[in-house]
Amino acid sequence: MNNLNNKKILLIICGGIAAYKSLEIIRLLKKDGVSIKTILTKSGAEFVTPLSITSLSQSKVYQDLFSIEDEAEMDHISLSRWADLILIAPATANTISKLANGNSDDLASTVALASNKKIFITPAMNVRMWEHQSTKQNISKLKTYNYELIGPEIGDMACGEYGEGKMTEPKEIVNKLKIYFKNLKVKNKLKAIVTAGPTREYIDPVRYISNKSSGKQGFEIAKSLLKKGFETTLISGPTNLEINKNINLIKVETAEEMFQSTLKSLPADVAIFSAAVCDYKVKNTSKIKIKKQDEINLELEKNLDILDYVSNHNSLRPKLVVGFAAETNDLENYVNKKLSEKNCDWIVANDVSNKTIGFDSDFNEVSIFFKNKKIDRLKYKSKSEISEELVEKIINHLN
Ligand code: CTP
């Protein structure tokens, strides 16, 4: 099955010796039935000519932000809306820097900034430029802006040096785009629910019981799901975090509200329960502020377990149910017990006896326990990387 057929790709060619490879990309994409429009930057035009690009792409090359003819035919906003995907190949250190910093002083950077589409960048530069801290920082920024990186590769460079910075081969780039469209096709139909953050169980209108959860891991999981094309609902207790507006965020406070919102958000293909739901709530919450007294007795009652409820009701149960567990001791025993008692498919567990990871940290180290007793250990890394790996496993499972 050809996942590229009838797709529209806007190819941005920047200046660099690797620009000649962009001609081969055009040839391969055309062979697969892709409609291509191209933007050639000023320095790109020093390496490849508009004539060779047009001959291969059978369409006009756009070069100038202020060209009256180009704007009349297709203005720069329409150009970014026309495409299903934007590919920047080769992407120079200069263009990467512009995109990371929101500059828009030429057609390429303006179109990228105005785009609402997935943008792939395939860097190509000298190894020292690639390894420079400023480039590294720019690339990290672009990743958080949802740009997808292809390469660069390690090898001999045109400048005679050796190292990382070589542009990925056209065939490999085209394969990556095929995989992207293939996954998109499958995942567009999939719906995910994530619970995150702590809950608050009110004692009176101004006091509550809660816990240390920051919600960071759950938010990162929601971001990774969105990035992979899931229709994502994030049901979150109070946090200081912000989320992409394409995620359906439902803000809740109490466990009861989280439960009701979860029920309303079902059905889903996958549900990930990462929230640190308070196990207990106050039995008789006071409607007015309680005054200071010598002694106060709070009567607590158990909250309903959302994960347990959803997982054990066949009519509600998503195809894949993932729970979380934070333990200070005897991790494996407790997790296996939770796996079977709560009837979930996987449990993402972390050892919270180590204070540098887990709660409120940007980093985590988790083990994923599966029903069949298999355990995948994800070593110490950022919560965003953990989420990407988890979502990759979810996709493989659902596929
Ligand atoms: N969970 C839930 N609803 C609750 C309580 C927990 O959905 N009312 C979910 C959490 O989101 C998480 C998992 O259940 O996925 C955590 O299990 P839980 O048994 O609550 O863990 P602990 O609170 O650590 O339990 P224990 O104190 O028994 O270890």
Return the closest-CA partner of residue 367 out of 317, 323, 398: 323
Across the chain, mean pLDDT equals 92
pLDDT band at 94 (very low <50, low <70, confident <90, very high): very high
Q: Do 188-398 and 8-185 have the same topology in CATH?
A: yes
Find out whether 288 and 321 touch, Cβ atoms under 8 Å.
no
Vertex 379 angle, CA 130 and 223, to 5°? 70
Please classify residue 66 by burial: count the beta carbons closer than 10 Å to its beta carbon, then call 0-12 exposed, 13-18 middle and 19+ buried.
exposed
89 touches ligand 1 (CB under 6 Å):
no
What's the N-to-C CA distance of the chain in angstroms?
16
Strands 61-62 and 153-156: unpaired
Return the pLDDT at 399: 74
Using one digit for the tens of pLDDT, what is the confidence trace for 194-212?
999 999 999 999 999 999 8
pLDDT band at 6 (very low <50, low <70, confident <90, very high): confident
* Least confident residue range of 80-84, 101-105, 150-154: 80-84
- What distance in angstroms lies between residue 230's CA and the mean position of ligand 1's atoms? 25
96 touches ligand 1 (CB under 6 Å):
no
| Helix, strand, or coil (residue 97) | helix
Ligand 1 atom at minimum distance from 275 CA: 11
Token pair 């979860």: residue: 262
How many percent of the chain have pLDDT more than 70?
Answer: 96
Right CATH for 188-398 from 3.40.1390.10, 3.40.50.720, 3.40.50.10300, 3.30.565.10: 3.40.50.10300
Domain boundaries, the chain: 8-185, 188-398
Return the pLDDT at 22: 97
Pair of tokens at residue 201? 């169980």
Residue 75 above 80 pLDDT? no
Give the mutation target among 338, 339, 352, 359 for probing the ligand 1 site: most ligand atoms within 8 A of CB: 338
Give the mutation target among 305, 309, 341 for probing the ligand 1 site: most ligand atoms within 8 A of CB: 305
* Mean pLDDT confidence for 369-388: 90
Using one digit for the tens of pLDDT, what is the confidence trace for 117-142?
899 999 999 999 999 999 999 999 99
208 touches ligand 1 (CB under 6 Å):
no
Catalytic residue status for 159: yes
Alpha helices in the chain (DSSP H): 20-31, 50-57, 68-73, 76-82, 93-100, 107-114, 127-131, 133-144, 170-187, 216-227, 255-265, 306-311, 331-341, 383-398
310 touches ligand 1 (CB under 6 Å):
no
193 touches ligand 1 (CB under 6 Å):
no
CATH superfamily for 8-185 is: Flavin prenyltransferase-like (3.40.50.1950)
**Residues in contact with 275: Cβ distance below 8 Å, sequence separation at least 6, in sequence order:** 195, 196, 197, 198, 199, 213, 215, 218, 235, 236, 237, 258, 306, 324
- Residue 155: CB atoms within 10 A of its CB come to 12
- Residue 159: CB atoms within 10 A of its CB come to 12
- What distance in angstroms lies between residue 338's CA and the mean position of ligand 1's atoms? 9
DSSP assignment letter at 276: B
Using one digit for the tens of pLDDT, what is the confidence trace for 288-315?
999 999 888 999 999 999 999 999 998 8
Residue 72 above 70 pLDDT? no
Return the pLDDT at 145: 85
Find out whether 11 and 152 touch, Cβ atoms under 8 Å.
no
